[in-house]
């Protein structure tokens, strides 16, 4: 119930504009967002890198409806890639296709994200195309394939274990050597296309994570689920799989203790660092994932 409520709230325009403009909103968003500016995001990246943990930077934004907004988002990403190269950061970038104009047209989004992938390829970095709701699944996969054919190894995408189609999609991407981030999935999807029960999503995740990690293609296992992470640890111990054949990925502000522990154990760990004034839909999806986060929000409300 709460999950559906917060996912619905994530698309509410009035509450979004009220929250993004209020100082209280900005304050509570700090729980999951590394700041409002590129400088703040780079400072957070340096701190995380100093602990032996890699970063993927996300300049928050999605569902843009004007070409100028899409171009402005891209400009921030080009700046991030310049900073990554100039400061030799252990970081790459993550972007949503609706942030670079996919709702306006696929051609526009492919041109803009293509320029980003080209830039990343030039500096030896990488662009991860985040996965959004199911209306975008096939188009996101197809665009990743086109771009990987042009800039091999410089682009990858995200697979969501809650979708029935994901197992086949993973085989399709691995056959082309395309890097995958495996997550459970953060959007509301109908039972016709997605497992409605969490235990089924978790079981599919475990099956698919083993497939990704042993594929020979470098994949990211994005989860904070400690039981699943324990299963991966046991799998590595049993099979002798190289701890660096894959990486764990977690969100900024979530399970920092576990991020550090895994890095100390010799696993690759990458933290997803989102920043920027358009934090609202991202933040609401994080509340949907864990009702306890709402208590955190409430505590801050009464403190201020
Ligand atoms: P699950 O939801 O089962 O949570 C397991 C445990 O983790 C919880 O009990 C809690 O302790 C902790 N936890 C989880 N979420 C938390 C939160 N928000 N705050 C505090 N604790 C939390 N989705 C998508 O659809 N497209 C995408 O591109 C991405 N990209 C992405 C990148 C990275 C690096 C991560 C980690 C996640 C994503 N996701 C995503 C989100 C993903 O689909 C999923 O919604 C969340 O990761 C929550 O699922 P868990 O696997 O953590 O497990």
- Which atom of ligand 1 is the closest one to the Cα of 56? 34
**In 3D, which of 153, 193, 189 has the Cα closest to residue 173?**
153
Q: Is residue 77 exposed (0-12), middle (13-18) or buried (19+ Cβ within 10 Å)? A: buried
The answer to whether the CB of 60 falls within 8 A of the CB of 70 is: no
pLDDT: is 13 or 167 the higher one?
A: 167
The answer to whether the CB of 150 falls within 8 A of the CB of 113 is: no
Using DSSP's 3-state secondary structure scheme, residue 257 falls into helix
Q: Which residues are near ligand 1 (CB < 6 Å)?
A: 130-131, 158, 160, 183-187, 222-225, 249-251, 254, 272, 286, 289-290, 293
Q: Detail the residues annotated as belonging to a binding site.
A: 96, 131, 160, 184-186, 198, 223-224, 285-286
Strand partners, 180: 157
- Which atom of ligand 1 is the closest one to the Cα of 187? 25
- d(C-alpha 192, C-alpha 189), whole Å: 8
Dihedral sign (CA 246, 251, 255, 259): positive
| ipTM value greater than 0.90 | yes
Q: How far is the CA of 17 from the centre of ligand 1 (A)?
A: 25
Q: How far is the CA of 270 from the centre of ligand 1 (A)?
A: 14
The pTM of this model reads 0.92
- d(C-alpha 41, C-alpha 36), whole Å: 8
- Which atom of ligand 1 is the closest one to the Cα of 272? 34
Cα dist from 39 to 42, 164, 175, whole Å: 5, 40, 38
Q: What are the backbone dihedrals phi and psi of residue 100, each rounded to the nearest 5 degrees, phi first? A: -110, 25
> DSSP letter at 217?
S
pLDDT in tens, 176-214: 999 999 999 999 999 999 999 999 999 999 999 999 999
pLDDT-derived band at 304, boundaries 50, 70, 90: very low
Strand partners, 156: 128, 179
**In 3D, which of 129, 162, 163 has the Cα closest to residue 146?**
129
Q: What is the CA radius of gyration of the chain?
A: 18
DSSP 3-state helix, strand, coil percentages of the chain (rounded to 5)? 55, 15, 30
- H helical segments located in 89-239: 106-122, 137-150, 166-175, 198-213, 226-239
Catalytic sites, residue numbers? 130, 181
pLDDT-derived band at 28, boundaries 50, 70, 90: low
pLDDT in tens, 36-53: 899 999 999 999 999 999
Q: Which residues of 166-191 are buried (b: 16+ CB within 10 A; e: fewer)?
A: beebbeebbeeebbbbbbbbbbbbee
Q: How far is the CA of 289 from the centre of ligand 1 (A)?
A: 7
**In 3D, which of 212, 292, 221, 290 has the Cα closest to residue 250?**
221
Question: What is the residue-averaged pLDDT of the chain?
Answer: 92
Tell me the CATH architecture of domain 59-242: Alpha-Beta Barrel (3.20)
Dihedral sign (CA 274, 61, 92, 244): positive
């Amino acid at each position: 119930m709460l999950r559906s409520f917060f996912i619905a709230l994530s698309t509410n325009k009035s509450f979004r504009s009220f929250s993004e403009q209020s100082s209280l909103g900005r304050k509570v968003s700090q729980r999951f967002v590394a700041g409002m500016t590129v400088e703040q995001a780079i400072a957070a990246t340096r701190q995380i890198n100093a602990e032996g943990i890699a970063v993927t930077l996300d300049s928050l934004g999605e569902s843009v409806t004007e070409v100028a907004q899409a171009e402005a988002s891209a400009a921030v990403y080009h700046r991030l890639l310049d900073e990554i190269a100039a400061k030799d950061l252990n970081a790459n970038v993550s972007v949503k296709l609706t942030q670079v104009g996919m709702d306006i047209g696929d051609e526009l989004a492919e041109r803009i994200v293509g320029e980003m992938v080209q830039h990343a390829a030039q500096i030896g970095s990488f662009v991860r195309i985040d996965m959004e709701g199911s209306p975008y699944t096939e188009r996101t996969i197809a665009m990743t394939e086109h771009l990987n054919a042009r800039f091999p190894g410089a682009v990858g995408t995200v697979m969501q274990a809650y979708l029935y189609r994901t197992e086949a999609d993973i085989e399709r991407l691995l056959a082309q050597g395309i890097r995958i981030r495996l997550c459970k999935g953060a959007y509301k999807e109908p039972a016709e296309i997605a497992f409605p029960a969490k235990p089924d999503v978790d079981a599919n995740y475990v099956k698919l994570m083993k497939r990704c990690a042993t594929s020979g293609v470098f994949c990211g296992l994005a989860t904070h689920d400690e039981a699943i992470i324990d299963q991966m640890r046991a799998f590595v111990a049993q099979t002798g799989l190289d701890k660096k054949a894959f990486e764990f990925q977690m969100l900024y502000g979530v399970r920092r203790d576990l991020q550090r522990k895994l890095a100390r154990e010799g696993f690759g760990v990458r933290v997803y660092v989102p920043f920027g004034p358009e934090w609202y839909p991202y933040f609401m999806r994080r509340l949907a994932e864990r009702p306890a986060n709402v208590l955190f929000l409430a505590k801050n409300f009464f403190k201020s």
